Structure 1
Amino acid sequence: MVNFSVDQIKEIMDKQDNIKNMSVIAHVDHGKSTLTDSLLCKAGIIASKVAEKTKRKEVLQSKSTGVSLYYEYDIYDNKTLEKFLINLIDSPGHVDFSSEVTAALRVTDGALVVVDCVEGVCVQTETVLRQAMQEKIKPVVMVNKIDRAILELKHDGETMYQNFVRVVDMVNVIINTYQQEDMGDLLVHPELGSVSFGSGKECWAFSCTRFARIYANKFKVEPLKLQERLWGDNYFDAEGKCWRKDNISGSGKAMKRAFVAFIMDPICKLANAVMEGNMDVANKMFETLGLKLTQEEAKLEGRAFTQGCYVQMDQCCQIHYLK
C-alpha cells in the first residue's frame, strides 16, 4: 500500500526547497537498482523488492526509469518532521547506455553515486561522474554492500574504515578533475553528511550525521560539532574524557578512532552476535538501543534477522544525504 496520498503530494508542491530531483548513477552491478527498489519499498510503491527486482531489471539495465517518492524525515531534530518529495531517476550502469545517463542528469539537480565498497570506484563510476560534472550536477555518495564486508569478508572496523577512505578519496579525485570552476566545492565529505554507508539489498544505511544525533546527548554537545569528530583521525580518550588526534590515550593505551569505536564496532558486534547465535549479547544490545522487533522480525534467523535489526536501528530509505 502506498504510504502517501495525492493531497500530500499537492501540499509539498508549494515547498520547492523540499522537492529533490535525483539521479541514481553507478558502475554496472554496484547495486543502484537494488537500492532504488529499497526506496520504493519504504515509500510503499512496491510490496516486495525481491519479487519486483527480477521484473524491473531488464528495463532498468537499458532505460532510465523515474518515480516520485514522498518521505517525512526529522532532518533537523528528533521531533519536527520535514516533508520531502523526491523525484528519483534510476539510470543504466552499462557503458553502452551512457546517453540515458546524460538525459537523466539533465533533468535532475543532484546525483546519488552508488559505489560497491568491495570493488571500489570502477571505470563506469568515473564515466558517470564525469557526465555529472559536465552537466553541473552536485553529487552525493552511497558506499554500498558493506554487509558483504561484515558478514562475508569478516573485515574489522578499521579495515572497513580504510576501504571507505579509499572510495571517498577516489571519488573526490574524479570530481576535482572534471568539475567546472563556477560550480564551487563539490567534493563529498562523510563528516558533513554527503556520504552514507550501508546495504541497499538489506534496506539499511547510516551517515555520520545520523550517529552524531544519536550520541549528542551522551557527549552533551551539538550534533554538528560531534559529526566532524566521527570521521578522520579523531579518538576519544574515555579515561581523560577528551578528544585526541593521535591514538594514544593519556595513560599510554592504544585507542580506536571514533568512526570505528562508535559506529562500525557496534554494527559488526550486533551482526556477528546474531549470525553466531549469541542471542544473550544480541538481546542486551537490543535493550540498550531500545529496539522493539515485531513478531515477524523476531522469528527470522541469520542474515534475515540482522536485516530486521538494522532496519530498526536506522532506515536506509529516509535518505540522510538530503541534509
Structure 2
Amino acid sequence: MHDHDREALAMFIDYQRAQNLAATTIANRRSILTTFARTTGTLVDCDPFTLRRYIGRDARITAGTRRTERGALTAFYTFLHDEGLRADNPALKLPVIRVPKGKPRPFTAEQIDTLLASGAYTRTRAMILLGYYQGFRVSSIAAVHGHDIDLVSQRIRTVVKGRKEVWFPLHPMIAELAATMPNDGYWFPARGGRAGHILPSSVTNLITRAKKRAEIAERKLTPHSLRHAFATDLLEEGVDIRVVQELLAHEHLSTTQIYTQVSEQRKDAGIRTLAARDIPTSSGRGAASIAA
C-alpha cells in the first residue's frame, strides 16, 4: 500500500472512531479496504471501473459479502470526497446489490444437546448457553461481565448493534450459570496477560471446535446459528413476533420475520388441521339414469 493510501486510511479510521462506530465495524472496514488495496494496487486514486471489477469478481462470493464490501468502499470514498481529498466519489457509480432474503439456519435441540455433551470445556459450554438461552451474538458473549447480571431483577445487560446498552430478561439457565461464574470480572477474560475480555473471534473458534467434536457436519451452522435457534424456538412455542423482535434487539420487524419461514414441522401441523371428508366412491350418475 502506498504511503498516501495508508495516511488516508488512518484518517478514515480516526473519523469513524469520532463517529463512535463499533470497533468491529471499523475493523471490518479496515480489513476490506486493505484487501482491496492489496488486490488492485490502488486505494485513494481508484477509478469506478476498478471498483466495479473488484465487487464483481469471483462468482463464488455471496451477494451479502459483495454488499458489505460495497458499503465499506462507499463509506471510504464518501469520506475522501467530503474531506476534499478527492474531487469526485467513484463509489457513487457502483450498482446497488440485490441480496436474496435470508433464511435462518438454526441448530436443532438435538444438535445443541450434542454440542454441550461433546467434551467442551466449562467456558465453551457457558458460551453455547448464552448463545441459545439469551440469543447473544458472539460479540455480546465475549463481553459478559459479572456486573451485567442482576439476580434481583433477573436481568442481563449487553451492548447491541448501534452501541446501545440494553437489559434483557435473564433465562433461569443463565441465572444458574451465573452462580458458577465471576461476579466481579469478565466471564471470559483475555489471556496472555491482556486486560479485558476475549475477542469475539475466540468465541467463534471455541464453539466451532465444539461443533467439530460433536461431529455436526452441516457447514452452514455457525455459532450465530445458536441465536437463530433461540428465535426459531421462541416462535415455535407461540411467542409473539414483536416480543421476539425485542429479545433479539432487532430495529426492524422485517429482520425478525425471516424466522417465520420455518419450520416444516409447523407446515405439516398446519395442513393437517383441515378436516378429512368422506369421498364418494363413484359419480352416482349411473343410478340417477336408471331411476329416470
TM over 0.5, shorter chain: no
TM-score normalized by the length of structure 2? 0.26
